[in-house]
Structure 1
Amino acid sequence: MRAWLCALALGALFAAEAVAADNRPLVTVGLVDTFSPEFYIHTYAPTVDRLMARLPEYKFRFVELEEQNIEKDIERLKPDFLLTSAGHYAALISKFGTHQVAVRLPREGRSPTQAVGSAVIVRSNSSYGKFADLKGGKLVVTDSHSFEGWLFASGAMRNQGIDPDRHFSMIYETNYGIPDVATIVSLGFADAGVLPACELERLIQMGAVGRDELRVIEESSGGKGCRRSTLLYPDAVFSSLPSVREDVLTRVTVALLSMPAEGRDFRWTLASDFRPTFELLRTLRIGPFVPIHSLSAREIWERYRTEILMTAVLLLAVIVHIVLLNILVRRRTRELRYALSETQRLSEETQRTRQRLLETERSHIVSELSSLFAHEIKQPIMNIALYAGTLRLLLKKKKTASAEEEDYLKKIYSEVERSSKIVDHVRAYAKPHARRREVCSISRFAKEAAKLFGPQHPELRIGTMPEGYVLADPFEVEFVLINFVKNAFAAVKGVKRPRVFLSAHEQGGSWHICCEDNGPPIADEVFERLGSLGASAKPDGLGLGLAIAKGLAEANGGHLEFCRLTPQGLKATLVLPRHCVGEEDGDA
């Protein structure tokens, strides 16, 4: 219908355009298809005639844009000017940069910014008085895409918290056909209808509707002007796009603003405030306020291309920053770990060096004290030997010595002799001397231990003692083994079933002389320092015995080994090189 009317109104103009010279500059004007047929006849056709008459040096091309595909049609047809409703003009500003050239002001409009609105009509005998009363009813509109024909009223309802899509049971569209909105409401086929403001007054004046047949609900005109149910907004906008040349824009603006109003129901002017229109778009969530989830991927890209690219660049920059930061953090962490490990290593090395110096110092002090003690104890030991000898001669002279007394005297002599050897060895360490080694039998050491400790310690067991030989100082080897056995006796003290086991075996060209016990477990820090000066598993131990034993073992070409047993106990091992009888013996 509208296309036919448009063709009828512009047929003569297009015919004149066909005979015009083709070398004139082309100016394209686009019309968005949301207006009534009366607009085409009474507004669009006179406006086109005015432009062609005042700008004959330009070749005009008039194209129609579909409301559903307005953005695609603008990109495809590339118009220089647009004739749209104020709502579509406002919706296109952000993307296409449309700029106001002129605004239509109808004769009954208050001002360019308060020119058009909508009226919601019902039958006069109905009980409807508010939008809320129409819940579940039927509504008829001219065009769901028309601002005057529906969107103004839809915005007013949404401002009251009413969702029109759910509020009505059905919404009809006449699409400007017959019967029209007023007729459908009058006949009762719909409970309410939406008309442009002043349309009801025009129908009453023409006699198409009785004066008391229909009424407007939610009337907000206040008795001034046409009855309406909504706010007033700017009317149609003639706008330019950024591609238009300045001289063309100036000529078109002058032609429209100077267009005579005589004989017409409108004139072209300028509007200073489109904020109500933007608020309406926000309320309806259309145009630039369309929810992003309702847009296709292409529409999202086209509308938010700049924002998407800026976000992508920012995100890429953040990712690069994070990656570089992680690389730097890992590098710094690696350097810090290396520095910490080096610091820890140096600290441990310093601690070990300090410990060695301390042990050396203590060893030197012990050596000095041992020499002093050996020097001072020599005379008391000799006195004990003399007193024992005197007592023995006295008893023989009196002939009163019993066998038991003779046995105790022999033991005293034996211990005195052993103490003298120890003193002599200690004093010998204080002076330079050649170490003397002998071929010693392994079984000899076991027999000496059994002879020394057997009667007082039944928990001592002697295991296999093969006939093997080592080249060593027998006194020093005996000292080491006696130290092992004494420590074992101290460890099993308090154990319900104490056990100390002495054995020997050959392994890898060396003799391993072992002393095992079933004493309580030893702490890790104590176990790791066994053999070091000052380390002792006994609460009252000084840590000198094993340290001296370690030094004696190493002096004889061997070493000490310690092993924890399961579930408890400790095995101390003296390892000495095996000696074959017949090899060259002598001093070492």
Structure 2
Amino acid sequence: MLSLCLPQPAAAQAEIRIGVLDFLGAEATVDEWSPLLHHLERSLPGHPLSLLQLDHARMRAAVIAGELDFVITNPGHYVELEAELGASRILTLDGGGGRSPERALGSAVIVRAERAELGTLKDLRGQRVAIVGREGFGGFQLFWGALTAVGLSPDDDLAALHAVGFPMNRVLEAVASGRADAGVVRTCVLESLGAGAAAFRVLAPRNEPGFPCATSTPLYPDWPLASLPHTAPALAKAVAIALLSMEGGRDGLAWAVPADYQAVHELFRRLEIGPYAYLREPTLRVMAQRYWPWVGGFALLMLGWILYTVRVEYLVQKRTAALSAALTERDRLEASARAAQEQADHLARLSVLGELSGTLAHELNQPLATITNYASSVIRRADNGRLTDAALREATAEIAAQAERASAILGRIRAFARKRTAAREGVEPRELATEAIALFRGMMARAPQVSLVDTLPAGARIAVDRLQIQQVLLNLLKNGYDASREQPPARQALEVRLASTDGKLDISVRDYGSGLDATAQQHLFEAFFTTKTDGLGLGLSICRSIAEAHGGRLIATSPAAAPDSDSGPGTCFTLSLPGLTCDHAHD
């Protein structure tokens, strides 16, 4: 039957060229694969046979050049040739003796027998390890996979990787000589040494039932026999049939139907080598293949976001007209409120001036009467012929001084009463208080004594509406005067104190009157509440509004509870304003 599968006549028989991966050395390779050659010579007479012993690189080059019809190599190398050059397995080696085609290969990590401190793979951290080469399946790649399983990296966690090349016996020599602390060989290589194996031991041996050799890694399928794309299908079929008839006990080797090499693919995918080396390249395609669930989720998220954005845009456009109308109405109401507030402030200032109008007329009468007396004196002296230059200079100087005094009083009142838009500017608190006191005393016929106590640092300034704050101080001084004018002269004095607390300006106006009862203090700042028989009850309400518009507050306390104030009768009003600064250039 074998002869029927071969082309005729015998003179035209095709040559069978087989490439074998050489990992034990030329002599050992010939010994291992001689049974295969002898069997093929008997089974396929007339076919010239050639067996080439090659390393990884030379085997790949020979396949590309078409110099081989079949290859016998380790599973890892086969997977690479399959993905790159189209190799196709037709048989898998059956080693027998407890090794099935699916569970035949592993790596043994060997150390010298006396190295008792090395017990597990994790103990290899910081050690020197000898390997055949990075392309070796049983000589490195299986070991690499086992290291990653315990959280170690051969490049980052080992002291060094010594690639000693083929044959694999060089790994044993490196460990025996001390050039390496451990070495990686294919399973069963150590057991094949016989008595020489006693010098070594296998690190972290696994429990693999029925497997005859010690292994440090999981087991993988045995070596495959693979045909190449240019191999004639009839020739591949003839060789497969011939080799399937081999028996291990009789012929020294045995072959089985192709094993499943998916475990090798999974290892290479995890290590990102061989056909899966592209996974190391950060391309958009690779990222999409690796993270497609995340990409899909992100795409759905983006789609949802777009739909949400479109809906929000629709709602925004739908409500824009209503919002614009509402904003316009708000601006109109704010402008109206500002105009009403300015009008109320103006009326409050006029109210204060109205309450002081009687004393103001008396105050102006003094400089006017003095002017009249000096003018009359000049006329009489001129009529009597006694007008000297010195007397004329004295009279005119006094007339000018009294006129300036009256003009200053009227100027301060005109500025205070003028209606204008609120505007804030940086002012010195002492200057602000001094002007308010001067305005208050200038409108009083018998003004009480007003003392100013300034504890502020030099150069202190604050941004306020000067006229509004003066309006508050003038109102507080007038209330203090009204509360104490029925008292003895010693208790009619008023005190203004300037102090700072946590970056705030505190202006306190204290009187020594009869004070406020609990009911009056509770309702003191309510509109239209007053303790005066002729008052409107708007002054303190407007003053508190001015304070709050500046971000501050206005409170009334008894002198004992006021800061930096002595105890005693009366009431202490404190205006607290934020934003006090100190210009050191004035120090």
Please give the TM-score of this superposition, normalised by the length of structure 1. Answer: 0.42
